[in-house]
Amino acid sequence: MAATIPLHPALCGEAEKTVLTAGPLSASLFRFATGVPALRLRNARGALVILPWMGGMVWSAAFDGVDLTMASGFDAPRPAQTIAETYGCFAFHSGLLRNGVPAAEDDHAAHGEFPCAPMQRAWLELGEDAGGPFLRAVSEREYVMGFGAHYRAYPSVTLRPEATLFEIGLAVENRSGKPMELMYMCHINFAFAAGARIVQPAPFTPERTAVRRAVPAHVRPNPDYLALIEDLARDPARMERLDEPARYDPEQVFYLHGLGTDAAGETHLMLQRREGDGFGISYAPAQFPHTVRWIMADPDQQVAAFALPSTCQPEGYAAEKRKGHVRELPPGGRADFAVRTGYLDAAATARMGGLISSLG
């Protein structure tokens, strides 16, 4: 059982206002100078800034003094209809009816309708479960279109008192009397860490770590870039370490296959920094059958999205439909997704490395 505290954007002002304190856990509301209302969750180790009424996205994350968030030209979220208009967040929910980068035959926005969608309700939940005490932020959106889809979606973020890992969740219910197409990616944009090493439960072989060879319209390739892609198709192990940032301008995308799982059915990946600490992510491939890697280090954006759990690949609706990657929810059906992610100190990094090694 959890206590529920409703949140309202009218409570968000220029001065940050604490709305809940429970031991080391706290929640406060404020409004960015851009006008976007926000919620800050804190624990003993750090804080998350969430946009409860704008896609439920996680704008920023920092623990033990380490900023986990990608670098970009956006120092604050901006009112936006599409994610490109405010692309500087730590994590957003990509989907849900359409997903990925649209090709010429597609008519949807990049990453779908959900990333910046307005939420109708938001609230806090304070409780305790098998994992111990928690503070959770939940938002709700009902999408309904005449002669089209009708769903309710519930993005959430769960923080625990002493943890530097937190859970990003999404539940979606098909409220229509017809099947609903579903394409979802938990798009987590970690900071690019020069010299860091990617640790994964799969070898860096062409079969298991496959570079994307198709070049999307937003990428302007040059001969060196195209030659690098061909080299990576033969030897993706060149990208195990982020020791040559120029390789990621333009971006590089990989598809990971056959990731090892533990007894609970979860896979685990890590970006180990030169300092000995790292960033981690854990999830169940049964929920997310695809894993995408997106890394970019150009003059304007630096991001190491080393594991993007997804129900599909990001090549747009038409291509994913042909590949059989578009899931369907039956009338009244529900899908639940959960990703545990965040910061790993040196000791936790060593433990995570051992776990990943044991998975293959």
> What separation in angstroms does the CA of 189 have from each of 25, 108, 242?
24, 22, 15
Q: What is the pLDDT of residue 76?
A: 98
Taking 80 as the threshold, does the pLDDT of residue 177 lie above it? yes
- In total, how many domains does the chain have? 1
Contacting residues for 248 by C-beta, under 8 A, at least 6 apart: 192, 242, 295, 296, 297, 298
| Higher-confidence position of 254 and 223 | 254
Which carries the bigger pLDDT value, residue 246 or residue 81?
Answer: 81
Q: What is the mean pLDDT of residues 159-186?
A: 99
- Write the burial class of residue 116 (CB in 10 Å: 0-12 exposed, 13-18 middle, 19+ buried): buried
Please tell me whether residue 284 adopts helix, strand or coil conformation. coil
Mean pLDDT of 88-110: 96
| pLDDT, mean of residues 127-144 | 98
User: How many CB atoms within 10 Å of residue 11?
Assistant: 14
Cβ partners under 8 Å of residue 39, min gap 6? 7, 27, 28, 29, 49, 50, 51, 52, 122, 137
Confidence bin at 217 (pLDDT 50/70/90) = confident
Q: Which of 195, 176, 98, 205 is nearest to 332 (CA)?
A: 176
Q: What pLDDT score was predicted for residue 155?
A: 99
The band of 215, judged by pLDDT with boundaries at 50, 70 and 90, is confident
pLDDT in tens, 256-282: 999 999 999 999 999 999 999 999 999
Residues 143-166 have a mean pLDDT of 98
Strand spans (E) along 189-329: 197-199, 209-211, 252-256, 267-272, 278-283, 290-297, 302-310, 327-329
pLDDT band at 67 (very low <50, low <70, confident <90, very high): very high
- The tokens for 299 are 């003059």
Write the DSSP symbol of residue 104: T
Q: Mind giving me the DSSP string for 120-155?
A: SEEEEEEEEETTEEEEEEEEEEEEE-TTS-EEEEEE
Q: What's the pTM?
A: 0.97
Coil, strand or helix at 237: helix
What's the pLDDT at 221? 81
Tokens 């100190």 sit at which residue?
Answer: 345
pLDDT of residue 1: 72
Closest CA to 53 of 169, 170, 137, 171: 137
Residue 90 carries which side chain, given as an amino acid letter? Answer: F
pLDDT score, position 152:
99
Q: Which domain holds residue 108?
A: 2-358
The CATH number of the domain where 269 resides is what?
2.70.98.10
